[in-house]
Structure 1
Amino acid sequence: MNNFGQYTYPEISAQSEALQAAWEQLGKQQSWIDQYLTNSAFDEVIFIGSGSSYYQALTMASTYRVWLNRAATAYPSSELFLFREQTAPAGRNYLVIGVSRSGESTEVVLALNSVKDLPGFTVAAITCYENSTMAQIAPSLVSPLGKETSTVMTKSFSSMTFMMQAAIAKAAGSAALSSEMEAALNLDGGVVSKADAFIQPIVSGNKFSKYVYLAMGSLYGISLEACLKIKEMSYVWTEAYGTLEFRHGPKSIVEPGALVCLLLSEKARGYEVKVAEEMKQFGAFVMIITAKKGTDLDFADAVFEIGGENISDEARAALYLPALQYLGYYTALGRGVDPDSPRNLTQVVKI
């Protein structure tokens, strides 16, 4: 057990370096941004991925819609491959962006191959492996330090999400948005360090029976990823919901012993806080990850402040991840499970 997490822990801890490398790499790939993200010929951008890559695709698509005011969607890769008429109706001009850490996932490769030569489709991608199959199919943004040994995605997820968002900011031609992404980059190192110290006593001091993650907007994809981290690393069943949607039936699962973790946005803060307060009344342990603490959060059992209250919810997305990843890591260790090698899983999923 002493060797458990020997890859996962340093990979979580190194994500600020991975974000910095992605930022620097983006400066070398301006032509990719110009050719794809700023191209007005596309009626819609479709981000596709599988598993964690699909969840970051959701955040990428949400950011694209907000910052570029243009149509974008996100789908699991298999939906585009097997149900193209539903995901991409004929008569529009699409840019399909594949998202894959390894660039070898069967579904994303099949999906890109299925449309790359069709009229009305152009393909591009983002990955951590520049020589991967996907990168040979589709011109790719590459996160240089996103490569990982552990099965689960941690710094790869953070760096790829950050890199695509930074690319979208540049495509918007907005100095303000680029400054927001640079502000998030500068905050990340401190957040990683604080998150480690914050999460350890929560895990060691509590035994949770269930985990629920709540978020809205561009943070919803992050909540799904947080949910997956607990499942992958520690084999604990957990769920993720849109914050206000959770009140419409699913809240019946809340009881003493449940952890409810809210990824608090600033845009919907007042509404989301009311939901968290209700969960506290039902007996849940309420943990809130927020840009800024305030007296409105005094009811919560644990509040982690990531900073960046003066930047948008979208730009802060990567800052929510360290605490969520460490939560999965320490929960796994507490259950005697090796987060490096989850059962039934491989780093690359092939059919």
Structure 2
Amino acid sequence: MTIFGQFTYPEISSQAEALQAAWGQLEQQQAWIQSYLLHPEADEIIFIGSGSSYYQALSMASTCRTWLGKSAAAYPSSELFLFGRQAMPGHRHYLVIGVSRSGESTEVILALEAVRELSNVTVAGITCYENSKLAQIADCLLSPLGKETSTVMTKSFSSMTFMMQTAIAKASGHEPWVREMEQVLQADAGVTAGSDSFIRNLVAQNDFQKYIYLGMGTAYGISLEACLKIKEMSYVWTEAYGTLEFRHGPKSVVEPGTLVCLLLSEQARPYELKVAQEMQAYGAFVLLLTAKQGDDTSFADAVLEVGGEALSDEARSVLYLPALQYLGYYTAMKRGVNPDTPRNLTQVVII
């Protein structure tokens, strides 16, 4: 007899251990930071991935621009493979970092193989599998406890994002950012446990028909990933947008029965909260994920406080992931579908 969620739930719940292992592994891969993130010839860093890995790439690139002060971009792997000239004009030197949980995704392999022999390109990667094709063709950071049995990425996403952000913090030479990542590491277990009970109750007490995720900056990639978790695990209708961009047309879909989940930043807090209030006026149930609740968040229907008010928005983004992953899991369980093996999906996408 199949037990629904028997893999997904423990994998979400064990992400603090995966982050800890990634932290320890990075201590052993300090040379990677020097060789790649601090590559003296690289004018731009390009992160590539597919699906969840592309959304990681967006958050990694955002963190890289902010903390490393270097030009960085993210593209779907297929974009680099099939439209390489548009992604990489020939007058610059690029570091291309492939992002893949399995290290076997056809598109990321094809993209790296297409560019790695070019004189103006250096390639590297990040994965959870040390013997993968990606690890064979590129020098990779390795998240040793990111390996998963379930189809959907959860702790792999969290640990790989955390690992790359920590690598970027170390490459920056700015010790406070390294300390921020260490604080995230120390807080993650408590945040994961608190998010579990909070989201379990939220899903049990409500019946949402639509899910909208909003985020800006580094949280934009996280919001896209949150959207994908609901689609993959529970097959419900959902979208993700930049917070203020949602007001420019897409808000027309908001009505009673709509969950609007805002990944609140501190940098744009007052502006983002105005958007949330507007959506509530249209009938949405507003869920805020925030460092700290206060008088300005009291209007919301639900508020999950993850802590880390003193952290940068970049570092705090990983602490939003447990709640977003549990939201997919508990929604699937309530709908009677198995989040371990979503229909039409496999762990590795092969062309």
* TM-score, normalised by the number of residues in structure 2: 0.99
Residue by residue, what CA displacement relative to the aligned partner does 1:39-72 show, whole Å, maximum 9, x if unpaired? 2310000000000000000000000000011100
Could you tell me how far apart the structure 2 residues matched to 1:25 and 1:305 are?
29
- 2:198 corresponds in structure 1 to 198
- 1:346 corresponds in structure 2 to 346
The range that moved more, 94-103 or 203-212, is 203-212
- 1:298 corresponds in structure 2 to 298
Could you tell me how far apart the structure 1 residues matched to 2:294 and 2:162 are?
27
The range that moved more, 147-156 or 203-212, is 203-212
Amino acid at match of 2:307: G
* Distance apart, 1:317 and its partner CA: 1.3
Q: Give the secondary-structure state (helix, strand or coil) at the position aligned to 2:288.
A: strand
- 2:173 corresponds in structure 1 to 173
Residue by residue, what CA displacement relative to the aligned partner does 1:224-256 show, whole Å, maximum 9, x if unpaired? 000000000000010000000000010010001
Correspondence list, 1:216-295, <5 A = 216-295=216-295
Could you tell me how far apart the structure 2 residues matched to 1:144 and 1:2 are?
28
Amino acid at match of 1:146: G
The range that moved more, 126-135 or 32-41, is 32-41
Could you tell me how far apart the structure 2 residues matched to 1:53 and 1:18 are?
17
Q: Give the secondary-structure state (helix, strand or coil) at the position aligned to 2:92.
A: coil
- 1:208 corresponds in structure 2 to 208
Could you tell me how far apart the structure 2 residues matched to 1:7 and 1:88 are?
39
- 1:309 corresponds in structure 2 to 309
* TM-score, normalised by the number of residues in structure 1: 0.99
Correspondence list, 1:15-26, <5 A = 15-26=15-26
* Distance apart, 1:91 and its partner CA: 1.2
Could you tell me how far apart the structure 1 residues matched to 2:87 and 2:341 are?
34
* Distance apart, 1:2 and its partner CA: 6.7
- 1:5 corresponds in structure 2 to 5
Could you tell me how far apart the structure 2 residues matched to 1:87 and 1:98 are?
14
- 2:89 corresponds in structure 1 to 89
- 1:152 corresponds in structure 2 to 152
- 1:56 corresponds in structure 2 to 56
Could you tell me how far apart the structure 1 residues matched to 2:243 and 2:171 are?
30
Residue by residue, what CA displacement relative to the aligned partner does 1:135-158 show, whole Å, maximum 9, x if unpaired? 101000000000000000000000
Aligned length: 351
Q: Which runs of 4+ in 1 moved over 3 A?
A: none
- Between the aligned residues of both structures, percent identity stands at 71
Residue by residue, what CA displacement relative to the aligned partner does 1:60-112 show, whole Å, maximum 9, x if unpaired? 00000000111000000000000000000111100000000000000000000
Q: Give the secondary-structure state (helix, strand or coil) at the position aligned to 2:99.
A: strand
The range that moved more, 161-170 or 31-40, is 31-40
Could you tell me how far apart the structure 1 residues matched to 2:304 and 2:95 are?
37
Q: Give the secondary-structure state (helix, strand or coil) at the position aligned to 2:313.
A: coil
Q: Give the secondary-structure state (helix, strand or coil) at the position aligned to 2:214.
A: strand
Q: Which structure 2 segments of 5+ residues have no match?
A: none
Could you tell me how far apart the structure 2 residues matched to 1:141 and 1:231 are?
29
Cα-Cα RMSD:
0.7
Amino acid at match of 2:17: E
